[in-house]
Structure 1
């Protein structure tokens, strides 16, 4: 089993604290949020953890000049290489597909780490992200992160999401929610049984994204990790 969590669930904590929590719960990896409130004060690999991705906030398809986006990508990809991460999480942030293609091409091949486009905001569906990456056509340089919530919430059938993203899939972000409020796995309205059926046998990373940074009223991350980890274990075991 390859289970991680996002440090988005630990607002105000250091990376060292995130590592300690992961080790305590037997978590194998981390999505590391690139934010000023989390100093990168340790290397998770020293504790036996893998860094799945560096979660930046570059908006790859936002309309505007290319240079600032490319510069941010270069810096974050270099950081991802330093930590041995699969890549850098980016948001679409707009619908400028041509700009996104230019920006990804500008950094392609410069690092081992890849640009990882999340199903989010203006490209919330697998169809949208998959179409972008199909056009780019360089799987060694770019891939997809499937946040299970956003495509489903935007009316895309989960099977269609998987079909669109399968050639590009870097890893899967798992979560449950009621409306926009995070809930422990199995306590929200996300059809987790459907995702479990689709993901049986999936060999890659599952990462819990617990958005406590945006919803401070929800339970501490440590209270929801066990249920999420057991859900992932059940999917892997049944596969």
Structure 2
């Protein structure tokens, strides 16, 4: 396995500072987010970050974003959907420039304005459009399972990926923690199988059973042994990227402590000397 930290957990404000910190700690990768006014919209900033990661021997597993919660690909308003496509296309360009090979996409949000069937049709059309663009760049469109009231079972998730994948490279960005509230991660992993292109990790406390139940790996109720065994069963040996917030106190302590826990969980013997 290779280990990375998503921007959610960055302890410092500047992307470059976090890259240096993660490289010094021993991470394999850094996963930046495309934000509304962040540096990834600027080509020169992306080129500089690419050069830095190369110098640090640090890879970028994927480019992610939270913009699709507002710029919904399934939104009722055409302008909203177009803004979502624009953001995703920029993510693909950035992923290509950084050698990431994947982007994380939230395909839909089901709410009072957007019914499930409308969300499905719009999301499928949007992801197929992005898959065609991704195919041109050699970038896989990775759909993440999130709390968006959409694709609520592994069988439906797999079918959506297969249908969207007719247009180009589409896979799953499987989030272990996001499943635990209403299912068992190891069962999803087994059913998604080779569709899983990237993995996000965090833990979840079932006694809280709300969004506040998310916590750091080893502090919740996920059966990590089952998760690791099932990933091994399907032959997954790729990126494991933590998506957790920094500590409120001494945030710089999160990256090294978290990497140690990931190494412990996933038995990465090649890290024993780090």
Structure 2 length-normalised TM: 0.74
Offset of 1:84 from its aligned partner? 0.9
Q: 1: CA distance between counterparts of 2:195 and 2:237? A: 14
2:187 alignment partner, SS class: helix
Contact 2:128 2:167 (8 Å CA) reproduced: no
Q: Quick one: which of 251, 254, 258 aligns to 1:224?
A: 258
2:5 alignment partner, SS class: strand
Partner of 2:170: 142
Contact 2:30 2:61 (8 Å CA) reproduced: yes
Offset of 1:149 from its aligned partner? 1.2
Q: 2: CA distance between counterparts of 1:36 and 1:135? A: 30
Q: 2: CA distance between counterparts of 1:188 and 1:211? A: 15
Q: Quick one: which of 194, 201, 204 aligns to 2:226?
A: 194
Offset of 1:189 from its aligned partner? 1.8
Deviations 1:181-210 (A, max 9, x none): 554432222221221221225211111111
Superposition CA RMSD, Å: 2.8
Offset of 1:38 from its aligned partner? 5.6
Runs of 4+ in 1 over 4 A off after TM superposition: 215-220, 234-237
Cα 1:227/1:159, change in 2 over 3 Å: closer
Offset of 1:140 from its aligned partner? 4.4
Offset of 1:234 from its aligned partner? 4.8
Cα 1:36/1:101, change in 2 over 3 Å: closer
Cα 1:229/1:21, change in 2 over 3 Å: farther
Contact 2:33 2:64 (8 Å CA) reproduced: yes
Partner of 1:233: 267
Q: 1: CA distance between counterparts of 2:25 and 2:228? A: 22
Offset of 1:217 from its aligned partner? 6.6
Offset of 1:54 from its aligned partner? 0.7
Q: Quick one: which of 70, 73, 82 aligns to 1:60?
A: 73
Q: 2: CA distance between counterparts of 1:139 and 1:232? A: 34
Offset of 1:125 from its aligned partner? 4.3
The correspondence of residues 145-184 of structure 1 with structure 2, limited to 5 A, is: 145-154=173-182, 156-178=183-205, 179=208, 180-184=212-216
Partner of 2:112: none
Report the structure, 1 or 2, having the larger strand content.
1
The correspondence of residues 28-177 of structure 1 with structure 2, limited to 5 A, is: 28-35=28-35, 39=39, 41=45, 42-43=49-50, 44-57=53-66, 58=68, 59-65=72-78, 66-94=81-109, 95=116, 96-107=119-130, 108=132, 109-121=135-147, 122-123=149-150, 125-138=153-166, 140-154=168-182, 156-177=183-204
Equivalenced residues, count: 234
Deviates most, 47-56 or 5-14: 5-14
1:196 alignment partner, SS class: helix
| Rg comparison, structure with higher value | 2
